[in-house]
Chain A
Amino acid sequence: MYKIVDKVSLNPTVTMMQIEAPLVAAKAEPGQFIILRVDEKGERIPLTVAGYDREKGNVKIIFQIVGATTEKLNHKNVGDYIQDFVGPLGVATHLDGLKKVCIVGGGVGCAIALPIAQKLHELGANVTSIIGFRTKDLLILEDDFRACSDELIVMTDDGSYGREGNVTVPLKELFENGETYDQVITIGPLIMMKFVVAACQPTGIPCTVSMNPIMIDGTGMCGGCRLTLNQDGKKVTKFACVDGPDFNGYEVDFDEAMSRGTMYVPFERHAYEEACNLFKEVN
């Protein structure tokens, strides 16, 4: 069992928790993920590590309440326990040797992008961060990003905060103004990452994406998290849990990944409604 030692609601649908998991905290690096089960009957869900405190032995997770499991998790409070918490899984984001990086985060993906930006900042790299949200109420982690970024651009789709538009607008402007980077690292919804990759394409700047497919074991056993890369005209199957979750954005078949992500939508919607109804009855 793993104790919840801190919980903060970042916005109406996004929650931060610190989980006591010393073995995971000792090893976790930006870009890696964990798998948790809320209770004994729960499903296994992957969440990318949003931070870690090696001394205290805590791992930070930030999750959006999108389904039954995250709804249940959000009903847990400080001092409660979650059943299972395993990691760190996957390969850490490669940051060595990067001097100038542009981080592009979207929505709750910003939670995963933040530790990468922080680590790059620690390593002395020049960091430009572009973070985008649907609307002002959903904005998270602005101050944290500001603290580790040489330049921060905040975007909202509806213009209710920062600049109006999606994250590719300022990215393209930066490119047009002659800015160049060792690497663009983007984390967010698949459709956003697909467009970020497309925006980078003409510049040839390497673009890393963080994939978050459906997973079960997360340790290289079930193959549910497979995705297709186009490498030199050849289709190659990779597994996000052991080969990723980071991949070269130019190689990823996003359309396939988006399609696979919808496999259980009706089931998930039903389970979420059930969970919500259950909590309504309780309250």
Chain B
Amino acid sequence: MPNMSLVKNPMPSQDPLVRAHNFHEVAIGYTEEIALDEAQRCLHCKNMPCVSGCPVNVHIPEFIEKIKEGDFEGAYQVIHETSSLPAVCGRVCPQETQCESKCVRGIKGEPVGIGRLERFVADWHRDHSDQKPVPAPFNGHKVAIVGSGPSGLTCAGDLAKLGYKVTVFEALHTAGGVLVYGIPEFRLPKAIVQQEVDNLVAMGVDVETNVVIGKTLTVDELFEQGYEAVYVGSGAGLPNFMGIPGESLKGVYSANEFLTRSNLMKAYEDDPVTPIMKGGNVAVVGGGNVAMDAARTALRLGADNVYIVYRRSEEELPARREEVEHAKEEGIIFKLLNNPVEILGYNNPDDRRDPKNGFVTGMKCIRMELGEPDERGRRRPIPVEGSEFVLDVDTVVMAIGTSPNPLIKNTTAGLDVNSHGGIIVDDNGATSKEGVYAGGDAVTGAATVISAMGAGKLAAKSIHEYLSK
């Protein structure tokens, strides 16, 4: 008999007031009892609408069935057939707009907590199973992957399963891309990312860190080295700034820099080697998931007050609902319908050596109101004349998106990019250059982990078809 409760089992989480001061994971995860209970909510629809909502087509009802049977390892194996990174997806996928949005239970009440169950299964596997993946027999083909973020790792995993010899090239010193430098520890513990990478290595994937494709080696040189196809999953590029006065003052960061200092370089630890501005008042400009991550990181680093400054209203916030709620619970202050016009800095005209000179003292904002919808249907924010005010802040984090990295485009003849610099691909992930495929943020601009994974999966399929000809 299915569990006909209209609501999902809530996710056990750290108390907001406690977690606002530590970097431990916010969500603690389902227990076996909760997982079994939640699994009973799945109706096992014949047409499986949830699967169509998943960019990597995890066989959702099948893995939930295994949970019901108490076969948690079996459930893991079902997920692992189509997803190379279950522990990551269970944590950072926006399930509410994907699998769970298609769930029949969601028509009346809440959908099945698919993401929470996926996470439970992946964590169970990590804690209980020593079953290591085994390399598939080598099929004679070599493929190079540029970037070890979610799309590159997914592409690598799928190709390795098919017997390809895969080498992943990573520019930084640690594999994982945005999963390591961007998404904070409290949302995605780095040990989990490392384990997913270790699994790929166990499957025979080589990971070469400290290689910048476009600098250390070019795409053409990869072909010369015997790789027969290349997947470019090089991720987001240079951070955007607003172009307002004061953005070069000390205390102004891009979200990429702020998060990289904290996540990759561990600036949050007690005795860090890489510094970061801590404490005081912090304004994060932007309303996406990255803005939420930066704001919540600033809070955990010891800020007194953290503001999200966003020019539209709550309804238009591009961040996941859950992240916004978490941020609010923790005490992030939302300054909606406000737009920065200038960042103010300290300047002592009598003493040019005053150590406070050049540091941020505040941010001048203007109130906004929403006008007519623009061509994309979003109501356009319009400044309210004369409504300027100064927000008292010491640190400003700009989380307003990125522009594609030029390194690969500049060094790869025959690779077409669009007017924004994003690599152009067809429906199969193929670029204008033969044998070169691309996906993730390098193609779409800043998007989600799972859409990058979907692109990596698609490219793996296309590369397999291309090399099977």
Q: Which residues of A contact B (CB under 8 A)?
A: 23-24, 27, 37, 41-44, 68-69, 83-89, 216-217, 219-224, 226-228, 237, 239, 242, 253, 256, 259-260, 262-268, 271
Contacts and interface: CB of A to CB of B under 8 A. Distances in A.
Nearest to A270: B275
Contact of A43 (B172, B247, B249, B273): B273
Nearest to B182: A221
Contacts of B406: 220, 242
Given A41-B273, A259-B357, A221 B216 contact: no
A72 to B, nearest CB: 9
Given A23-B217, A259-B357, A217 B248 contact: no
A219 B275 contact: no
B254 A222 contact: yes
Interface string B244-270: 000111110110110011001110000
Interface of B: 171-173, 181, 209-212, 215-217, 235-239, 241, 243, 247-251, 253-254, 256-257, 260-261, 264-266, 273-275, 355, 357-358, 405-407
Contacts of A228: 248
Given A23-B217, A24-B216, A220 B407 contact: yes
A16 to B, nearest CB: 22
B273 A239 contact: no
A88 B216 contact: yes
A267 B272 CA distance: 10
Given A239-B238, A267-B275, A85 B407 contact: no
Contacts of A222: 239, 254, 256-257, 260
A219 B407 contact: yes
Given A83-B173, A86-B210, A242-B238, A223 B273 contact: no
Contacts of A223: 238-239, 241, 254, 256-257
A148 to B, nearest CB: 26
A152 to B, nearest CB: 33
Contacts of A220: 237-238, 405-407
Contacts of A221: 181, 235-239, 256, 260, 405
Contacts of B253: 224
B393 to A, nearest CB: 16
26 contacts: A23-B216, A23-B217, A37-B173, A43-B265, A44-B173, A83-B173, A89-B215, A217-B181, A217-B260, A219-B172, A219-B405, A220-B237, A221-B236, A221-B260, A222-B254, A223-B257, A224-B254, A224-B257, A226-B248, A237-B247, A242-B238, A259-B358, A260-B358, A262-B358, A263-B250, A267-B275
B171 A219 contact: yes
B241 A237 contact: yes
A221 B178 CA distance: 11
A262 B56 CA distance: 47
B211 A86 contact: yes
Given A41-B273, A242-B406, 11 more contacts: A24-B216, A37-B173, A86-B211, A87-B216, A88-B216, A221-B238, A223-B241, A237-B243, A242-B405, A256-B248, A260-B248
